Amino acid sequence: MGLVGRIGPIVLMAVTLVFAAQALAKPPDERMAWWREARFGMFIHWGLYAVPGGEWGGRTHYGEWLRSSAQIPLAEYTPLLEKFNPVEFDADAIVRLARDAGMGYVVITTKHHDGFCLFDSAHTEFDVMSTPFRRDVMREMADACRRHGLRIGWYYSIMDWHHPDYLPRREWETDRPTDDADFERYVAYMKAQLRELLTNYGDIGVLWFDGQWEGNWNDQRGRDLEAYVRSLAPNIIINSRVGRAGGDHGLDTESGMLGDYATPEQFIPSSDPGLDWETCMTMNDHWGYNRADRNFKSATTLIRNLVEIASKGGNFLLNIGPTGTGAVPPESVDRLRQISQWAGANDVAVIGTRASPFPAGHLPWGRCTTRPDLDAPDRTILYLHVFEWPADGVLRVPGLYSQPVGPAVGLADTGGPLPQNRVERDGPDLLLRVGPKPLNAHSSTVALTIGGDPDVAIAPTIAAAADIFIESLRVTVASERQNVQVRWTVDGTDPAPDSPIGGSESPIVLSGSAEVRAACFRNGQRVSPLAARAFRRVAPREAVLPARTQPGLRARIYTFDTGDIQSVDALRQMTPREIRPVPDFALSHVQPRERHWGVVYEGLVRVPRTAVYEFTTASDDGSRLWIGDTLVVDNDKPHSFKAERGTIALAAGLHPLRLAFFENWGGCDLKVMWRDVGQAGGKREDLPAAALFHEP
């Protein structure tokens, strides 16, 4: 059969698989249901790097990035295969630790960045079957999870420091020539391994991608990979790192996010981001095993992190790094057992709960999670997680207008009503007389049942297209609370019971600078904090009239060998290695090498009409954008792919534009977007090359 004859059936089979997967796929909310219920999972980073235990060349600070950080040639790294014999590995023991701690799922590294596979792969010999251990770790983990009622998930690194077709290489890898490397062959290899992982081990709950930030990966490849994975496992949950974008690991959704959920790493967002998300975090300072690292977080810190994350609607993926012999470090075992003891009485206040109805920082003594009362659908249970127990035995819940139903109940080992369980009202606050003794040294939980949905004193929202305007601006004030009126003022006074009533159908129209103030009222009484937002009427920046222009920008390209820099300001002290015209902001036009470089674009941007414009830079690492002498977007510091935006009023025509960007290492991305905020439904779009000019 000729090539054309072969392609037809292959394409037909692929299309058939996609349609079959779509037919079997659950709606997103159903697919995510078990994951949202779980709230707590175990992350396991394990591989060849565990054998030296973080030590190489007399230094002891390494982890799972050992091969790259210590710049180890493959000829020296590959012999670790002969030393990988983790005879203390016990999948059942690890899964029991997770289960007892209240975890609902496990995610383990099937292949980390070094390319070593902990499963039996037909597509490489750089796997566990080439070691003295010769046991398929993924098989044992998947089976153990099912025996103990947990979901199993696979971590898989897109980046691969071993495969001959993976690109780019690191600058120090002189032992790995790239002459015959073909990244498309690598993608085919990756898909073949993912097929093994998704078809040979039963139902897999999560596919956790990582290492997506290097130059050859992009969102188009990410979308293709996501579709491929779903053709094999229609209901699998995929994290945001399948795609290149997703600022702050997916929390900044306007930067673009693929997959099902965001993955902030080693930090907890300041507030509920309003989407599915999961913080992954280590117990100490390393992901992979490091025998010298004894800086383990306390059980109190880990438990409070779990509570904090659940109170903001997220999941907590807590890492352990087994030793080279396969044992879980004793400090990790100790922390998990302490969490298990706490979970025995308190996991009902985390597993399956919803985010707090209180704004971040509202509860000075702790956090809150909620769940509907299954015995009474018209009631809600508030779980009050008390970190700082009141010395006088009176727990004040500020701004809770809901009516309590019955006594407060403490979730101690014995359960039952608190010794002093009276609930009293003090104006907008509820007072719970809980007694002077905390229920738990880590975090005490008090359950309070209320009628209906939580009614909390939350300030109304004040929304507008921007904080500046040229002629007039529509502003709306609103609240999601029931049975309240939102009243507002623009004369500098606070809203009163007789102030105008707002709402989405009654916008405020400003024709001059003003501060809008708003508050919620009920029965003539104010029942919320004050919200305030200032708006300015401004004159648009005048356009310039250069004598001559040419399409595109002028780029000043820099390299630096002094290590990482912290700001684009550092480029001012350097001499550009090259200055040349470029058509747009695509880094492919200017990138001189993999790391430690920067570029300053200079030119003009043509805006089509007089209006307020929003400009956005999404970058990894830092970037800043100026219009004339005005800094419009400040996205400056080393960080992962992240978007920042700013607004400026511009007259129709040409305006000087300057954008500075620097790249330390890792991800290398820059997107520049704009939109006319005054146009209804104006979408944020890439700043087109057709709008860019420079003076010759």
Picking from 112-126, 525-539, 642-656, 657-671, which range would have the lowest pLDDT averaged per residue? 657-671
Residues facing 157 on adjacent strands: 210
**Nearest CA-CA partner of 205 in 32, 354, 46, 42:** 32
Structure tokens at 54: 């973080």
pLDDT, mean of residues 407-431: 82
pLDDT at 6: 36
How many CB atoms lie under 10 A from the CB of residue 63? 21
pLDDT, mean of residues 425-437: 93
| Residue 18 predicted with pLDDT over 70 | no
| Residue 103 predicted with pLDDT over 70 | yes
Picking from 8-17, 23-32, 453-462, 550-559, which range would have the lowest pLDDT averaged per residue? 8-17
461-537: CATH number: 2.60.40
Exposed e or buried b per residue across 279-313, where buried means at least 16 C-beta atoms within 10 angstroms of its C-beta:
bbbbbbebbbbbeebeebbebbebbbbbbbbbbbb
Q: How confident is the model at residue 7 (pLDDT cuts 50, 70, 90)?
A: very low
Picking from 195-204, 416-425, 629-638, which range would have the lowest pLDDT averaged per residue? 416-425
| Residue 300 predicted with pLDDT over 90 | yes
Q: How long a stretch of residues is the chain?
A: 696
Please tell me whether residue 304 adopts helix, strand or coil conformation: helix
Helix axes 137-147, 91-100, angle to 10 degrees: 40
- CA–CA distance, 11 with 616 (Å, rounded to integer): 39
pLDDT, mean of residues 593-605: 95
Structure tokens at 331: 């400090």
Q: What percent of the chain has pLDDT over 90?
A: 83
| Residue 100 predicted with pLDDT over 70 | yes
| Residue 430 predicted with pLDDT over 70 | yes
pLDDT, mean of residues 620-639: 95
Helix axes 3-24, 219-232, angle to 10 degrees: 70
Q: What percent of the chain has pLDDT over 70?
A: 94
Q: What is the pTM of this model?
A: 0.91
pLDDT at 112: 98
CB 219 within 8 A of CB 245: yes
CB 238 within 8 A of CB 272: no
- CA–CA distance, 70 with 483 (Å, rounded to integer): 63
- CA–CA distance, 537 with 601 (Å, rounded to integer): 30
Picking from 86-95, 401-410, 486-495, which range would have the lowest pLDDT averaged per residue? 401-410
Tens digit of each residue's pLDDT (9 = 90 or more) over 223-245: 999 999 999 999 999 999 999 76
Greater confidence (222 vs 244) lies with 222
Structure tokens at 624: 């800043």
| Residue 694 predicted with pLDDT over 50 | yes
CB 110 within 8 A of CB 62: no
Q: How confident is the model at residue 15 (pLDDT cuts 50, 70, 90)?
A: very low
Q: Which parts of 180-234 are beta strand (E)?
A: 206-210
Kindly indicate whether the domain formed by 3-349 is annotated with CATH number 3.20.20.80.
yes
pLDDT at 22: 54
pLDDT, mean of residues 301-310: 98
| Residue 565 predicted with pLDDT over 80 | yes
How many CB atoms lie under 10 A from the CB of residue 10? 9
Picking from 95-104, 145-154, 440-449, 496-505, which range would have the lowest pLDDT averaged per residue? 496-505
8-state DSSP, 340: H
Please tell me whether residue 277 adopts helix, strand or coil conformation: strand
pLDDT at 377: 87
- Mean pLDDT (the chain) is 93
Phi-psi region of 115 (alpha: psi -120 to 50; beta: other; left: phi over 0): left
Tens digit of each residue's pLDDT (9 = 90 or more) over 670-690: 999 999 998 866 788 999 999
CB 261 within 8 A of CB 232: no
pLDDT at 5: 37
Domain map of the chain by residue range?
A: 3-349, 366-451, 461-537, 550-694
Q: Specify the CATH number for 550-694; select among 3.55.40.20, 3.40.50.11890, 3.90.182.10, 3.40.50.720.
A: 3.90.182.10
**Nearest CA-CA partner of 455 in 400, 373, 406:** 400
| Residue 1 predicted with pLDDT over 80 | no
Q: How confident is the model at residue 250 (pLDDT cuts 50, 70, 90)?
A: confident
- CA–CA distance, 423 with 400 (Å, rounded to integer): 12
Picking from 84-88, 350-354, 408-412, 478-482, which range would have the lowest pLDDT averaged per residue? 408-412
pLDDT at 4: 33
